[in-house]
Amino acid sequence: MSTETRKLDRVVIRFAGDSGDGMQLTGDRFTSEAAAFGNDLATQPNFPAEIRAPQGTLPGVSSFQLHFADYDILTPGDRPDVLVAMNPAALKANVVDLPDGGILIVNTDEFTKRNLTKVGYDANPLEDDSLDKFQVHKVAMATLTIGALEETGLGKKDAERAKNMFALGLLSWMYHRPTEGTERFLREKFAKKPDIAEANVLAFRAGWNYGETTEAFAVTYEVAPAKLNVGTYRQITGNTATAYGIVAAAQRSKLPVVLGTYPITPASDILHELSKHKNFGITTVQAEDEIAGIGIALGASYGGALGVTSTSGPGIALKSETIGLAVMTELPLLVIDVQRGGPSTGLPTKTEQADLLQAMFGRNGESPVPIVAPQSPSDCFDAVLDAARIALQYRTPVLFLSDGAIANGSEPWLIPDVDALPDLSVEFATDPETFQPYSRDPETLARPWAVPGTPGLQHRIGGLEKQDVTGNISYDPENHDRMVRLRQAKIDGIEVPDVEVDDPSGEAKVLVVGWGSSYGPIGAAARRVRKLGLPVAHAHLRHLNPFPKNLGEVLGRYEKVVVPEMNLGQLALLLRAKYLVDAVSYTKVQGLPFKAEELQDVLADVIKGVSA
C-alpha cells in the first residue's frame, strides 16, 4: 500500500496529555517546525494551575493547540482536526472538541483499567464503538519508545519519558515537516545530558519511522508555505513581545528601565525575560509584594527612569492606590496587566478580558488612566511601545491590558527595523528661572519632569491635592475642581490614531467592535460571514482610554454594532455610556478564547436581522 499525500490549506493539531508528559514542549517544537517551513501559524497552550496535578486525572491534563496554514490566519483554531491523546484523561477532556471524521491518535499504553477508572470510563473507549466517528490510530507509544531506546542502556522509566518525542516524530512525518531543527534543539537543550539528548532524538526518529514503515497511516498531508509579507520572521509569544517592547522603549527613550514586580501567573514570564536583558540598562527588582513592586517602579520614574510593573488582575487590585499616586504626581509609569479569569484568584491559567473597568475606574476619586490593549501575541511589541510613548510624553501611568491567551499564545512576527521604531526621547526640566512643578505643556498638558539632582528645581510632590502651577498643597475648592478637570483633560487629549474599519465590500450595515485578544476570532468570524455573502465591518480598539477620536462617527455609520467580549459587556457599557449607541453585547466567560465558529453565528444572525 502506498501512502497518499493530500494537500490542505490549513490544519489544527492538539497535543494533549498529562501535565508531566511534556505536551507544551511537543507543541512548541511542532510550531517551530511549521514556522521554519514557512506556514503562518497561531498557537494556544492550555494547562492546569497546579504544577503537577495528580497523574492521569482530568485536572492534570495539559494541552497545546497549533493552527498552521498556507495563508494568513488569525486564531489558534476553534477545533482540532487532529487530536493526539497521551492518556485516557487527555482523551476524555478533549475528544468533545474533535469534529466527526477527525483524526485521533491515541497512546494505548496508558489505557489501563486503573487509568480508565481514574477518569470515570467504565469501559475502554478504544475497545467499544464510542470512537467510531473518528479516524482512530492506536499506537503503543510508550512500548515503541522503550523498544527504540533499548540499546541506549537507559532505564525503562527514563526511556518512557521520551514518548512525547515519539508522538512529535509521528506527526512530523504525517505533515511532512522538516526535522533538523528539532534534532538540533534537543541536542542543545540536553547538552549537559548527552544520553538523554540522544534518547530523545532516537524517540523522535522512531516516531517518524513508525509512520513511514507501518502502513498504518494511509494518508499524509502537506500544507504549503504561506504567502506572508516579505521580511524576516520569528515566532513570538505575547509575554516575550511585551518584554521586548519594554527593552525597545528603553532604547528609544534612552532611559534606564526599572521593573518592580511580584511573580504572578500569567505575567511572570515578563519578569523572567527582562531579567535576562540587563545589558540594555534594565534593572529588575522582585519585590516583597505587588504594592512594593509598583512603588519601586514609581520611585524609579521619579528618579528619571522608565518605571514598569507587571502583574495580573489581583495585582492590579493591590496596586490601585499607587496608580492613584502616579496620577496625582503625574509621573510616567507603565503598568502591565496580563488578565486572567477572575474575580479573586479566579482561573489563574485561563484567559479573560474582565479587567477593563478595573483599569478604567478601579481607583478612588476621579483618577483617569490611559488604557492600551494589544490584539495578538506579536502586537504586544508595538502596543507596549505605544503605551510607553503615552506614559513618557504625558507623564501618566498607563495600563496595558494583555491577557492569558495573548501572553502564552504565539505567532510569527515580522521583525521590525529597529531604526524605524518611534523616537521616545524626553526632556527633563532644567531651568530654575521658569520651573514650576505643576505648570503644563500647552499641547499635552503634561507637567515638567524634574528629576532629583537638578540644581535649583528642588520641590515637593505627593498625594495631597496640588495647587495649580505651583504644586503646593491646596485645599481650595475651586483649585480642586480645576485640577480634577485638568487631569481628566490631559488624558482625554492624548493623541491616539483613528480606529480603522475593515469592511472589504464597503456595504456592511453591521459593525463588530472588539478589543484585545478577541481580534483573531472576531477577524476570522468576519471573514467567514463575508464568504457567506454577508457583509460585515470590523473595528478593533487598541486604545480604550481615550477612545480614538473617530470612534463615535464610526459607530454612527452602522445600523447595528455588535461587541463580543470575554466579560459581561464592559466595553459595551463604555460605548453605550459615551456614544449612546445601542450596542449588542455578546459575552462569554469560560476562560477560553472565542471560537470563530460561534462568532460567525452571532454575526450572521445580527446581519440577517438587519437585512430583513
Partner 1 sequence: MTAIDLGIPGLTGVPTTDEKQTARDYKSDQEVRWCPGCGDYIVLNTVQSFLPSLGLKRENIVFVSGIGCSSRFPYYMNTYGMHSIHGRAPAIATGLAVARPDLSVWVVTGDGDALSIGGNHLIHTLRRNVNLKILLFNNRIYGLTKGQYSPTSEEGKVTKSTPLGSLDHPFNPVSLALGAEASFVGRALDSDKAGLTSVLRQAAEHRGSALVEIYQNCPIFNDGAFDVLKDADEASRRIINVVDGEPIRFGREGEYCVVRDGFGLAVAKSADVDASDVVIHDASDLNLSFALSRLSTQDLSHTVTGVFRRADRPTYDDSARAQVNEAKAAKAADLSKLLHGKDTWTVVG
Q: Which of 41, 291, 407, 603 binds partner 1 (CB under 8 A)?
A: 291
Evaluate whether 537 touches 486 at the Cβ level (below 8 Å). Answer: no
Q: CB neighbours of 98 closer than 8 A, spacing ≥ 6? A: 79, 80, 83, 104, 134
461 forms part of the interface with partner 1 (CB under 8 A)? yes
Q: CB neighbours of 62 closer than 8 A, spacing ≥ 6? A: 16, 17, 18, 19, 21, 23, 24, 45, 46, 47, 48
132 vs 180, which CB is nearer to partner 1?
180
Phi, psi torsion values for 440, nearest 5 degrees: -130, 145
Rounded CA-CA distance 160/120 in Å is 25
Rounded CA-CA distance 385/248 in Å is 7
Rounded CA-CA distance 81/148 in Å is 28
Evaluate whether 128 touches 95 at the Cβ level (below 8 Å). Answer: no
Q: Give me the least distance between CB of 99 and partner 1, in Å please.
A: 31
User: Using H for helix, E for strand and C for coil, what is the string for 325-353?
Assistant: HHHHHCCCEEEEEEECECCCCCECCCCCC
365 forms part of the interface with partner 1 (CB under 8 A)? no
550 forms part of the interface with partner 1 (CB under 8 A)? no
Please report, as residue ranges, which positions from 307 to 346 form the binding site for partner 1 (by CB under 8 A).
307, 321-322, 324-325, 329
430 forms part of the interface with partner 1 (CB under 8 A)? no
Radius of gyration of the chain (CA): 27
89 vs 246, which CB is nearer to partner 1?
246
Rounded CA-CA distance 126/114 in Å is 15
Q: Which stretch binds partner 1 (CB under 8 A): 52-60, 131-139, 446-454, 587-595?
A: 446-454
Inter-CA distances, 332 with 290, 346, 375, Å? 18, 30, 23
Q: Which stretch binds partner 1 (CB under 8 A): 158-166, 295-303, 390-398, 552-560?
A: 295-303
18 vs 290, which CB is nearer to partner 1?
290
67 vs 588, which CB is nearer to partner 1?
67
Rounded CA-CA distance 170/82 in Å is 12
462 forms part of the interface with partner 1 (CB under 8 A)? yes
Q: Which of 454, 517, 585, 600 binds partner 1 (CB under 8 A)?
A: 454
391 forms part of the interface with partner 1 (CB under 8 A)? no
31 vs 349, which CB is nearer to partner 1?
31
195 vs 431, which CB is nearer to partner 1?
431
202 vs 300, which CB is nearer to partner 1?
300
Rounded CA-CA distance 322/327 in Å is 9
Q: Which of 5, 117, 458, 590 binds partner 1 (CB under 8 A)?
A: 458
474 forms part of the interface with partner 1 (CB under 8 A)? no
216 forms part of the interface with partner 1 (CB under 8 A)? no
333 vs 566, which CB is nearer to partner 1?
333
Q: CB neighbours of 263 closer than 8 A, spacing ≥ 6? A: 271, 286
CA torsion sign for 236, 239, 240, 242 is positive
292 forms part of the interface with partner 1 (CB under 8 A)? yes
Task: Extract the C-alpha cell encoding 80.
Answer: 482540532
C-beta atoms surrounding 13 within 10 Å: 25
Amino acid identity, position 97: D
415 vs 592, which CB is nearer to partner 1?
415
Q: Which of 150, 195, 215, 288 binds partner 1 (CB under 8 A)?
A: 288
377 forms part of the interface with partner 1 (CB under 8 A)? no
Q: CB neighbours of 225 closer than 8 A, spacing ≥ 6? A: 37, 38, 39, 70
Rounded CA-CA distance 37/40 in Å is 9
Q: Which residues pair with 107 in a beta bridge?
A: 139
Q: Could you give the dihedral angle defined by the CA atoms of residues 157, 162, 164 and 167, in that order, rounded to the nearest 10 degrees? A: -110
Evaluate whether 315 touches 302 at the Cβ level (below 8 Å). Answer: no
Q: Which of 126, 224, 357, 416 binds partner 1 (CB under 8 A)?
A: 416
Q: Which of 471, 462, 461, 460 is nearest to 436 (CA)?
A: 471
C-beta atoms surrounding 120 within 10 Å: 10
234 forms part of the interface with partner 1 (CB under 8 A)? yes
302 forms part of the interface with partner 1 (CB under 8 A)? yes
Q: Which stretch binds partner 1 (CB under 8 A): 117-125, 142-150, 412-420, 564-572?
A: 412-420
181 forms part of the interface with partner 1 (CB under 8 A)? yes
Q: 6-45 mask for partner 1 (x: CB under 8 A)?
A: --------------------------x--xx-x-------
Q: Longest C-alpha distance within the chain, in Å?
A: 90
300 forms part of the interface with partner 1 (CB under 8 A)? yes
Q: Which of 2, 213, 229, 344 binds partner 1 (CB under 8 A)?
A: 229
Rounded CA-CA distance 49/89 in Å is 16
282 forms part of the interface with partner 1 (CB under 8 A)? yes
556 forms part of the interface with partner 1 (CB under 8 A)? no
364 forms part of the interface with partner 1 (CB under 8 A)? no
415 forms part of the interface with partner 1 (CB under 8 A)? yes
Q: Could you give the dihedral angle defined by the CA atoms of residues 412, 414, 418 and 419, in that order, rounded to the nearest 10 degrees? A: -170
Q: Give me the least distance between CB of 170 and partner 1, in Å please.
A: 23
283 forms part of the interface with partner 1 (CB under 8 A)? yes
51 forms part of the interface with partner 1 (CB under 8 A)? no
Cis ω before 546 (30° cut-off from 0):
yes
Q: Give me the least distance between CB of 323 and partner 1, in Å please.
A: 11
Q: Which of 133, 156, 278, 485 binds partner 1 (CB under 8 A)?
A: 278
Amino acid identity, position 165: M
Phi, psi torsion values for 344, nearest 5 degrees: 50, -140
Task: Extract the C-alpha cell encoding 431.
Answer: 531651568
471 vs 514, which CB is nearer to partner 1?
471
Q: Which of 20, 299, 535, 552 binds partner 1 (CB under 8 A)?
A: 299
First to last CA, the chain: 55
Please report, as residue ranges, which positions from 502 to 521 form the binding site for partner 1 (by CB under 8 A).
none
305 vs 554, which CB is nearer to partner 1?
305
Q: Give me the least distance between CB of 292 and partner 1, in Å please.
A: 4
Q: Which stretch binds partner 1 (CB under 8 A): 93-101, 289-297, 361-369, 536-544?
A: 289-297
Per rule CB under 8 A, count of chain residues that contact partner 1: 70
> Which residues of the shown chain bind partner 1 in the complex (CB under 8 A)?
32, 35-36, 38, 181, 228-235, 244, 247-248, 251, 256, 258, 260, 277-283, 285, 287-289, 291-293, 295-305, 307, 321-322, 324-325, 329, 415-418, 452-464, 472-473
